[in-house]
């Protein structure tokens, strides 16, 4: 029995299946000190089991208590079962021994054998047979003295029986529990009576308790196993219930839950917001002290429906509906309550709603002032962003007026000094001009825009200009100094409803640019001190932008003046080309694009187009220097490639002259140029370009092409030669020269621009003016980001009837022949008046060629806008004009030519030189 009990106890001590040590964090890991457990800290399949087993939480204590109770019940059941088995075993042994003893005592022949001579011989076999048949351990027959006649062990026959025989001798059945040689047993002693009832012998039957209780002992392990299984199931169920309780109590112990409840209750009633919890059917479950105060709830309001608490209908309806609400404003008596409500049915929580109440009466007053301050900050921010978007003084003043109305004032006027509008500085007391005016109405009786104003000394504007401080007139109808400005207009202003004024000077540092006036009509209150400070800040920011615009206007005016002085104001008169041009400045202002038309000797005309990258004074000044240099170089009658080489050397020299101390200057990088010379006699055009876009050529039939002109490097790089291209142009061809601003910008590359130019030229009219107009109209709308210079030149030819040319032998006698031919030609041209001077000029030039030059010698005479005489020889030596002394025999020929001709000069050719002279036609 002890062994079996030990086994059952060992089984009951095992852990339930599926529960492992370490499956859940302990109390410290599961529930942080002073707080609730976090879901992310739970690990394993049974979170919180370790804390539950330790019993620190409510769930743990409940779990331990339930396990102990189940264990005690199982132990009690097992103990009761063991005791019951022992009792039943004893009773069974007693009943069996009594029954066997009485049966044997009353069996036939037992009494007779006792009276026989040898009872042992008769009864011993019968007793053994009965013992084996009944399963008892012994059957002993004895006489009344207790001497044994039978016994399972024959050596004990004849010996005295051990036991209490007195009751049996008295005729009663005796049973007793003793421990014999075979172990604990129960024996019964039954008397054997004769027919007269006298006890003649005794029969004792006995059986050990082990024999009787063997079956019960075999059933006990099954009972204990069932008890262990029941204990395991009860423990697992208790663990599941405790786990749910652990999740619901967040692993808190009783003290912690009590402390938490006390803290929550203290916080709930200490907060400055009302908290209301409404359950199902709209019943009030909880309301803190602030909610009682804000809603004026009765003391026993909990448990009643919110519709029956005497609340305002809209507030009661909101609380009863349980719908979601965010900052809904409800009027409760004299309070404005902001109500936020959320249903609690979300995420599986109990049905109902939770509402918070906040008294927003004072908050709205504070928020109104905060909103006003925020609006002022926004206005100042908008002033920094919206004022000064353009570098135009007038537009900047208009932006100030537009910003101030109606956000700050009902009307705003900006008056600037005349000099400021032109980019200068006001000197002394000068008149102001109303530059901008804005208002909520257009019919205000204020001075109109463009009006010249001279404020009287007593006016707020004059005082603001004098003192440099803002001046406020809270009540214009009482301001005599302001009314003195214009009595009639002042009365009209007051009658119009304008009642308050703030005049703020426009100051940029120490410079006063004008005055800004803010007028109020709709709002009854006058301007206050805070608004005056805002006006000063607003005007101060605008003054910076206006001063920047003034400075830009001044710089721009200077640059424009410089540029206009450097660009050609009119084209020179010539007959070789019919020319039209356009010049469009860039959006950024003055640039460095330029062009020119230069008449050359021999009725030729030079076309030049250039571009200096950049804008402003430096670009315009550089452009002027380059244009002047081209003028000077063209006077030398240089070929285009040689002229560009000299121009390249000049630009490099300009870059070298820029010193490092002059931070506002920069090298002339990106300067380009195209130089073309057209000869109407040969109808040839020689072109060279330095980094410039190629020219376009429109043939007389309207076809458009871009001649292949070698592209040289931009000016200033040096070290590389320039190449020329010679084009033969039919009469009425159009040569188009332009700068890169026409064909290239940020939105497209030069190839796309050239195709657009080709398409525009293909559909242009035949005249140069129509061609220019078509090209500009084909451009996308909007101002260009770079300057555009465009020249369209339609070619003309100098007819053969206007050209006379002779070969002259190297013989002084040929001079006379030349004079005769010249006279005949001039007579044919109707220029007889020029015969003498022309004969004299050609005589001197031909004589010099024969004497100092080399063959061949040719004479050519052209009739164009002037009479042109040219003498060609193969020598490269150039004659020099000088004064001859009285003793000199020669040296006066060129002097005579210079006196008789309007212009003269030398033009070098690859195979010699040409000395030419021009005379004006009569």
Tens-place pLDDT, residues 171-212: 888 888 887 777 788 888 899 888 888 888 898 888 887 777
Give the count of beta carbons closer than 10 Å to the beta carbon of residue 353.
23
Residues near 831 by Cβ (< 8 Å), separated by ≥ 6?
A: 838, 863, 867, 921, 922
Determine the pLDDT at residue 386.
81
Q: Do β-strands 325-332 and 284-287 pair in parallel, antiparallel, or remain unpaired?
A: unpaired
CB contact burial 502-524 (16+ within 10 A = b; e otherwise): bbbbbbbeeebbbbbbbbbbeee
- Helix boundaries (H) for 106-176: 110-115, 119-134, 166-169
d(CA 884, CA 407): 88
Determine the pLDDT at residue 726.
94
d(CA 758, CA 325): 69
Q: How many CA atoms lie within 13 A of 223 on its CB side?
A: 19
Determine the pLDDT at residue 18.
36
**Is the previous residue joined to 406 through a cis bond, with omega within 30 degrees of 0?**
yes
d(CA 66, CA 236): 11
Determine the pLDDT at residue 658.
60
Nearest to 628 by CA among 718, 719, 562: 562
Determine the pLDDT at residue 22.
36
d(CA 698, CA 763): 11
DSSP three-state, residue 532: helix
Determine the pLDDT at residue 47.
44
Going by the DSSP 8-state scheme, the letter that residue 526 receives in this structure is: P
Number of DSSP helices (H) and strands (E) in the chain, helices first: 25, 31
Determine the pLDDT at residue 378.
82
d(CA 707, CA 713): 18
Asked if residue 376 lies in contact with residue 299, where contact means CB atoms within 8 angstroms, the answer is no
Nearest to 133 by CA among 100, 102, 181: 100
Sheet of strand 353-359: strand arrangement? 284-287, 274-278, 353-359, 335-343, 325-332
Give the count of beta carbons closer than 10 Å to the beta carbon of residue 790.
24
* Angle at the Cα of 56 from the Cα atoms of 54 and 59, rounded to 5 degrees: 90
**Positions in the chain whose pLDDT score sits under 50:** 1-49, 51-53, 55, 659-661, 887-889
Query: Residue 39: phi, psi to the nearest 5?
Result: -60, -35
716: exposed, middle or buried (C-beta count within 10 Å: 0-12, 13-18, 19+)?
buried
Full 3-state SS string of 829-876: HCCHHHHHHHHHHHHHHHHHHHHHCCCCEEEEEEECCEEEEEEEECCC
Asked if residue 383 lies in contact with residue 542, where contact means CB atoms within 8 angstroms, the answer is yes
* Angle at the Cα of 619 from the Cα atoms of 390 and 563, rounded to 5 degrees: 80
Asked if residue 507 lies in contact with residue 468, where contact means CB atoms within 8 angstroms, the answer is yes
Q: What is the pTM of this model?
A: 0.54
d(CA 511, CA 509): 6
Q: How many CA atoms lie within 13 A of 699 on its CB side?
A: 8
Long-range contacts of 316-323 (CB under 8 A, 24+ apart): 318/355, 319/276, 319/278, 319/282, 319/353, 319/355, 320/278, 320/282, 322/278, 322/282, 322/352, 322/353
CA 37 to chain centre: 38
d(CA 339, CA 330): 7
179: exposed, middle or buried (C-beta count within 10 Å: 0-12, 13-18, 19+)?
exposed
d(CA 526, CA 528): 6
Widest distance between CA atoms in the chain: 219
């Amino acid at each position: 029995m002890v062994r079996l009990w030990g086994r059952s106890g060992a089984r009951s001590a095992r852990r339930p299946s599926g529960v492992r040590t370490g499956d859940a964090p302990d109390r410290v890991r599961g529930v942080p000190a002073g707080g609730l457990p976090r879901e992310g800290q739970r690990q394993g399949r049974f979170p919180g089991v370790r804390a539950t087993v330790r019993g620190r939480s409510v769930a743990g204590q409940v779990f331990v208590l339930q396990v102990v109770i189940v264990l005690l019940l199982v132990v009690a059941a097992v103990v009761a079962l063991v005791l019951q088995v022992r009792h039943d075993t004893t009773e069974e042994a007693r009943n069996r021994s009594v029954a066997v003893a009485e049966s044997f005592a009353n069996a036939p022949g037992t009494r007779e054998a006792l009276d026989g001579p040898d009872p042992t011989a008769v009864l011993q076999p019968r007793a053994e047979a009965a013992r084996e048949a009944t399963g008892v351990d012994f059957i002993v027959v004895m006489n009344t003295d207790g001497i044994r006649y039978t016994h399972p062990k024959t050596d004990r026959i004849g010996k005295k029986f051990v036991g209490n025989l007195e009751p049996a001798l008295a005729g009663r059945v005796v049973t007793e529990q003793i421990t014999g040689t075979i172990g604990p047993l129960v024996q019964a002693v039954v008397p054997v009576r004769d027919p007269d009832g006298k006890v003649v012998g005794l029969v004792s039957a006995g059986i050990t308790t082990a024999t009787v209780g063997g079956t019960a002992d075999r059933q006990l392990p099954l009972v204990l196993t069932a008890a262990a299984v029941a204990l395991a199931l009860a423990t697992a169920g208790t663990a599941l219930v405790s786990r749910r309780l652990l999740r619901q109590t967040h692993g808190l112990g009783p003290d912690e839950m009590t402390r938490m409840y006390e803290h929550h209750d203290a916080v709930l009633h200490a907060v400055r917001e009302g908290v209301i919890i409404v359950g199902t059917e709209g019943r009030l479950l909880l309301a803190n002290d602030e909610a009682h105060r804000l809603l004026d709830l009765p003391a026993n309001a909990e448990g009643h429906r919110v519709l029956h608490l005497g609340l305002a209908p809209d507030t009661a309806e909101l609380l009863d509906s349980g719908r979601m609400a965010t900052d809904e404003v409800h009027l409760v008596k004299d309070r404005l309550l902001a109500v936020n409500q959320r249903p609690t049915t979300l995420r599986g929580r109990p049905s109902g709603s939770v509402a918070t109440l906040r008294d927003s009466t004072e908050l709205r007053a504070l928020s109104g002032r905060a909103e006003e301050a925020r609006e002022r900050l926004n206005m100042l921010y908008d002033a920094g962003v919206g004022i000064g978007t353009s570098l135009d003084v007038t537009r900047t003043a208009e932006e100030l007026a537009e910003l101030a109305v109606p956000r700050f004032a009902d009307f705003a006027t900006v008056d600037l000094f005349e000099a400021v509008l032109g980019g200068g500085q006001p000197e002394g007391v000068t008149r102001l001009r109303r530059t901008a005016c804005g208002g909520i109405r257009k019919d205000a009786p204020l001075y109109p825009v463009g009006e010249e104003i001279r404020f009287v000394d007593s006016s707020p504007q004059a005082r603001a200009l004098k003192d440099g401080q803002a001046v406020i007139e809270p009540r214009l109808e009482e301001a005599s100094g302001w009314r003195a400005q214009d009595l009639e207009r002042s009365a009209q202003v007051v009658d119009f409803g304008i009642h308050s004024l703030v005049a703020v000077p426009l100051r940029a540092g120490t410079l006063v640019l004008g005055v800004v006036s803010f007028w109020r009509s709709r709002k009854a209150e006058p301007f206050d001190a805070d608004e005056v400070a805002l006006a000063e800040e607003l005007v101060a920011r605008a003054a910076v932008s206006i001063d920047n615009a003034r400075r830009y206007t001044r710089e721009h005016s200077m640059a424009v003046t410089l540029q206009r002085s450097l660009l050609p104001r009119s084209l020179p008169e010539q007959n070789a080309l019919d020319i039209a041009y356009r010049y469009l400045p860039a959006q950024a202002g003055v640039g460095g694009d330029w062009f020119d038309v230069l008449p050359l000797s021999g009725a030729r005309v030079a076309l030049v187009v250039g571009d200096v990258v950049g804008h402003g004074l430096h670009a315009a000044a550089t452009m002027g220097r380059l244009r002047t240099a081209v003028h000077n170089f063209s006077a030398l009658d240089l070929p285009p490639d040689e002229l560009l080489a000299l121009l390249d050397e000049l630009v490099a020299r300009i870059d070298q002259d820029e010193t490092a101390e002059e931070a506002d200057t920069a090298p002339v990088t990106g300067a380009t140029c195209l130089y073309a010379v057209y000869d109407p006699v040969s109808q040839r055009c020689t072109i060279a370009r330095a980094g410039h876009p190629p020219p376009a050529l429109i043939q007389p039939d309207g076809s458009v092409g871009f001649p292949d002109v070698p592209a040289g490097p931009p000016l200033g790089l040096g070290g590389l030669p320039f190449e020329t291209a010679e084009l033969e142009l039919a009469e009425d061809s159009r040569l188009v020269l332009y700068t890169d601003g026409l064909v290239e910008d940020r939105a497209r590359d030069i190839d796309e621009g050239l195709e657009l130019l080709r398409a525009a030229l293909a559909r242009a009219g035949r005249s140069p003016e129509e061609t220019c107009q078509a090209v500009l109209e084909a451009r996308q709308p909007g101002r260009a980001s770079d300057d555009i210079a465009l020249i369209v030149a339609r070619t003309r030819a100098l007819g053969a009837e206007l050209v006379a040319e002779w070969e002259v032998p190297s013989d002084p006698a040929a001079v006379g022949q030349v004079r005769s031919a010249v006279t005949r030609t001039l007579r044919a041209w109707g220029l007889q008046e020029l015969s003498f001077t022309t004969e004299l000029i050609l005589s001197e030039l031909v004589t010099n060629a024969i004497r100092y030059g080399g063959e061949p010698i040719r004479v050519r005479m052209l009739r164009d806008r002037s009479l042109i005489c040219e003498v060609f020889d193969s020598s490269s030596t150039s004659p020099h004009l000088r004064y001859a002394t009285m003793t000199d025999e020669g040296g006066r020929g060129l002097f005579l030519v210079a006196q008789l001709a309007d212009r003269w000069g030398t033009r070098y050719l690859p195979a010699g030189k040409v000395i030419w002279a021009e005379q004006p036609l009569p």
